[in-house]
Structure 1
Amino acid sequence: MTIAPETAMESAEAAAGARRDLPPSMVERMTLILDVFQGRDSRHTLEDVARITNLPRSTAHRILDQLVRLDWLAHTSFGYSLGRRSLSLGGGAGDHSELRAAAAPYLHDMLLRTGAVVHLGVLVGHQVHYLDKMGGRFAAIAPSRVGGWAPAHCTGLGKAMLAWIEPEEVDLLLADHMSSRTPRTIAELGDLHLELGRIRSRHGLALEMGECFENIACAAAAIRGPRGPVGAVSIVGEASMPLERVAPLVVDAARRISQDLFGDLATGPNRNRIVSAH
């Protein structure tokens, strides 16, 4: 098929015009991409981003990769979403008011019944973001703070949530971020997947003994919705704290918060869908 010279010229002019319409600077193109993500639950594929921004696919991919490396975006098997830096702007990791309100009475109850430090956290990329912290005498020396961050792979909160994420997504989140914090840190993906399998076999109970900070023990469980973990609660104390005594409290609190937030959806047939444990 032969294309008439006029048609070919018109196509070339249209392509040139489209190129001229692209933002000229990298900052403008990055801003264009970030504007695609309208909230903490916003997820888009590469194709979505290229279509919405009208950027060439290769250009969009290159900028997305840079934004992920700098923690402005996170990348998982479900697509791209806002990363730690984006969610931290303004002092918080998105709007978690409903989650915090639902968890508050259970955190307070666990504090009264144990006297230990209790936490509420969410998973953001490869890290845990602390939304709430309540504590008694141990609170001052527990190295955590509201608004702070900790590695997901070596904290009770993080492992509790990672246990209910597909193994392939765990690999994407943690492949480049599994450094050792203490001699007890699980620093290999294969070993971590075995640990996540044990957590699932304990009905979601995650235990941590000096993996993130030495001389600190933790029991945690994830708050789960129909699409996976939305947060986690934990009880933290000295290494000598009897975890077997507090473990049922934290598992029960996470289950009740899930039900308060999601009703029957929190305990639906897809809640445990993990295809493999590596």
Structure 2
Amino acid sequence: MSGNVSTPGASVVSRVLAVLYAFDNGHRRLGVTDLARRADLPVPTVHRLLRELVAGEALTRDAEGRYAIGRRLWDVGMLAPEQTELQQVASPFLSDIHAATRATVHLAVRDGREVLYLDRLSGRASVPVVSRAGSRLPLHATGVGKVLLAHAPAELRDDYLAAELRRPTVHTIIHPERLRRQLAAVRREGYATTEDEMTLGACSIAVPILRRASADGVPEVAAALGIVVPTLKRERTRLLAALQVAARGIGRSLP
């Protein structure tokens, strides 16, 4: 936010919003000085607001004195009608997949340049999974993320591939042309896979959840549905079939 929030007449609410809006995908953790600069507020004012926001669990403070969005704000954000509706519709289908596969199941959407996990049911196998409901991970390193990136607007996809990509493991695909070919295959084949790309010892397979647009009838990707398992070598076909059936069911149930 700019300008006027630092004036004496600015309301407390506008100043609180200025602090919260200082966070974005490129500024996930901020110190007091950076927060004051980005919110255009005096440092003493920001200090006072931060104490109350941390006490109310809207923000968290780490050992290095940096602040981040707290879980309570995530909980409030999840009350937004679109995400609540999607979760409610998808919930029984996620439970069915989980019961049938005993694997970790994910429901995710794209949030800018990251994949945002709306829901996760943990599997019984000892697979290293770093996601949780509310967490954000790189689009190019996860199965659900690759599905969402493959179906993102072409301009966003080009900008994403032109940027320096994070490499969580040595197996993460970060070469732009190789990744571009993989994303084209995702659109063509209808699913994405990863092998040890987000964490070692974890493979994933994911599919899009399609919802028909009301205007022209062209399906739009509302979300992605994925499974994380130790290996895809033996049960890829079965897992993919389970995901596709669930994704179609969710898609048909969305308004």
* Alignment TM class, shorter chain as reference: 0.5 to 0.7
1:49 equivalent in structure 2? none
The whole-number CA distance in structure 2 between the counterparts of 1:162 and 1:234 is: 14
The whole-number CA distance in structure 2 between the counterparts of 1:119 and 1:232 is: 8
Give structure 1 stretches of 5+ with no counterpart.
1-21, 36-62, 73-84, 263-278
Call closer, same or farther: CA 1:68–1:179 in 2, change over 3 Å.
closer
1:1-278 counterparts in 2 under 5 A? 23=4, 25=6, 69-70=26-27, 90-92=73-75, 93-94=77-78, 95=80, 96-138=83-125, 141-173=128-160, 175-176=162-163, 178-202=165-189, 204-225=190-211, 226=213, 228-239=220-231, 242-262=235-255
Q: Is the 8 A contact 1:165 1:228 kept in 2?
A: no
The TM-score, its normalising length taken from structure 2, stands at 0.66
The whole-number CA distance in structure 1 between the counterparts of 2:69 and 2:144 is: 21
Q: Aligned Cα RMSD in Å?
A: 3.2
Give 1:240 deviation, angstroms. Answer: 5.2
Give 1:68 deviation, angstroms. Answer: 6.8
Give 1:121 deviation, angstroms. Answer: 1.2
Give the match's secondary structure for 2:124.
coil
Q: Is the 8 A contact 1:152 1:159 kept in 2?
A: yes
The whole-number CA distance in structure 2 between the counterparts of 1:207 and 1:159 is: 8
Runs of 4+ in 1 over 4 A off after TM superposition: 66-69, 85-89
The TM-score, its normalising length taken from structure 1, stands at 0.61
Call closer, same or farther: CA 1:240–1:161 in 2, change over 3 Å.
closer
Call closer, same or farther: CA 1:216–1:140 in 2, change over 3 Å.
closer
The whole-number CA distance in structure 2 between the counterparts of 1:194 and 1:149 is: 24
Call closer, same or farther: CA 1:189–1:103 in 2, change over 3 Å.
same
Give 1:127 deviation, angstroms. Answer: 1.3
Give the match's secondary structure for 1:23.
helix
Q: Is the 8 A contact 1:125 1:173 kept in 2?
A: no
The whole-number CA distance in structure 2 between the counterparts of 1:252 and 1:199 is: 17
Q: Is the 8 A contact 1:119 1:233 kept in 2?
A: yes
Q: Is the 8 A contact 1:153 1:174 kept in 2?
A: no
Give 1:99 deviation, angstroms. Answer: 0.4
Amino acid at match of 2:27: L
Amino acid at match of 2:238: R
Give the match's secondary structure for 1:102.
helix
Give 1:102 deviation, angstroms. Answer: 0.8
